[in-house]
Structure 1
Amino acid sequence: MSASKRQLNRLLGTSFAMLLATTLGGLAQVAERGADVENPAGLVEVSLGDWGVKTALAKDLSVGIADVPLTVAVPAALAADVCPVSGEDLEQQEVISPTRTCAAKSLTDGLRDEVRKQVQPQ
């Protein structure tokens, strides 16, 4: 291969590498900004489908079972308290998707307060 061909190949390779790095960097920034727009507070969607949790909430809040929402958005620390997942698991979900989810299996005062805000707005 001639010297000029080697120089051309090197130049093309370098240009392609720079283009690829710029494009991937831009995509990463877009994805990061998108996550902030979709869930700026970093809340977790907690499912309230567990029958024990749902009926206890309805009783405690003096509402019908149908009035208890299917999900409630809560801070990650509260979600880790009521769901059978660790805070680390919830953090890992955030890497994959801005919407983190779990299913409540226990009831705390914090969860009760968050549901109350939805069921009985002031």
Structure 2
Amino acid sequence: MKTIALKLTISIKKVYEGEWFEWMAKEQIPDTINTGLIIDFFIHKMVSSILPEYVEYEIGYIFHYKKEYEEYMENFRLDLNQKHHQKFNLSSRSKFEERAYEDLSHEVIKLN
């Protein structure tokens, strides 16, 4: 079975990690799942970071089909990103964002 994954990687200052993670778990990820387009997600904490005062997370959202991924990108991504940026004042690069980027899609193949 093939699916599409949207992967996001963000670096967070360690002193704000708990606040960010709690908000992601209680608000941002549920809001993203509630679009009805995502069938699964994952969140990985990286074991090392280039910058010692930061921790990196990779968040992935899984879609059944490319058309659902495209609908999410067109209709939901900007609003959800803006909510995240406003919550943590990312436009001024204050608390969290030194490096944040999207890896726009991967095809995921499960071998069962």
What is the TM-score when the length of structure 2 is the normalising length?
A: 0.26
- Relative contact order (C-alpha < 8 Å, sep 6+): which is higher? 2
Greater strand share, structure number: 2
Greater helix share, structure number: 1
Larger Rg: 1
